[in-house]
Amino acid sequence: MSLSPARRHRVAGGALALLVLGITTVVVESAADPSSASGGRTTAPGPVSVLDGSTIPWPEDGQSAVELVGTGAPEARGEQRPVPIASLAKVMTAHVILKEHPLRPGEPGPLIEVDRQAAHEAGVGGESTVPLQAGRTYSQRQLLELTLIPSGNNAARLLARWDSGSQDAFVRKMERTADELGMDRSTYTGASGIEPTTTSTAVDQVKLAREAMKDPVFREIVASRSVTVPDIGPITNTNSLLDTPGVVGIKTGSSTPAGGNLLWACEVPSGGTTRLLLGAVLHQRANTTPSEGIQAALESGRRLITGLRDRLSSARTER
């Protein structure tokens, strides 16, 4: 798959340069801000915290990026080169589906019939799948849950075919959406992320997270520790960081070439309101086993989240 000239040549700008100097500055705006986690108003007059990047517990492996939504571009650590992202691709899949077929909170959406391909794929080894049976119907919301919570590859590809007729046609929508979001170093080649040719960077994934988390249905699903789906039963979220205070998503992904990947969101008190802190940790323990990679990503993500959350809370208390 070829990339547009703009996506081949555009390079992320000054956000990375700040981290080279070891300094990360976080500024909270004082006006009404739709990027706050609660949608309320912030009363802080100007800057409320300055984070010293040299003290942030960045993962030593792979690449990472963080952003306090509404306060500037993502800051990053590690070389921002495209790497396989495994099941983080499902965040884009869900985002495109909800753009094309919006849902209101609590709304199930249209019923979608399981085709033979999705049922056959449930028995294929070496993939993360869910037990779908041909002819059964599930709502759009339920298939999004099966895609994002237990990371069902066959559910993701079924949604792609339902939307676009084929996975290839749906991938073209994923690519166009990446272009629109300025994800200059991302390439999507499938709806599930099983293909190692689906690649991205930590900065690009944070850009996607910022947009995806604006949708209340997406937010509800990725914050769910578990749900019960008819004919399948209870399903548990692969994101064990949901037991960490403030964490409200988003998605894990792992494979041997990708290593462990984590895209996360955490609500933090900042400047008199609650803001959304986003982050991505990619390429942890790549070329080991998926279980080793995901464990490393979860551990690195937890340290990063708690470190940043504590610093923001401390700065708010001290000002």
pLDDT digits (tens, 9 = 90+) for 250-282: 999 999 999 999 999 999 987 778 999 999 999
How many structural domains comprise the chain? 1
Angle between helices 89-100 and 202-212 (to 10 degrees): 30
pLDDT at 314: 67
Q: Would the pLDDT of 156 be above 80?
A: yes
Of 55-59, 154-158, 243-247, 295-299, the range with the lowest mean pLDDT is 55-59
pLDDT at 92: 99
Instruction: Give the HSE-up count for residue 40: Cα atoms under 13 Å, Cβ half-sphere.
Output: 11
Tell me the pLDDT band of 168, cut-offs 50, 70 and 90: very high
Where are the extended beta strands (E) located within 85-223?
111-113, 137-139, 199-200
pLDDT at 236: 97
pLDDT digits (tens, 9 = 90+) for 174-207: 999 999 999 999 999 999 999 999 999 999 999 9
d(CA 183, CA 181): 6
pLDDT at 54: 58
pLDDT digits (tens, 9 = 90+) for 16-44: 333 333 333 333 332 333 344 543 333 33
- SS3 category, 108: coil
Return the top range by mean pLDDT from 93-97, 119-123, 267-271: 93-97
Q: What average pLDDT score do residues 150-158 get?
A: 98
pLDDT averaged over every residue in the chain? 85
| Nearest in space to 277 (alpha carbons), one of 244, 252, 305 | 305
- pTM assigned to the model: 0.84
d(CA 282, CA 44): 33
Q: Note whether 87 and 308 are within 8 A (CB).
A: no
Could you tell me the CATH number of the domain that includes residue 263?
A: 3.40.710.10
Query: Which residue range forms the structural domain that includes residue 234?
Result: 5-318
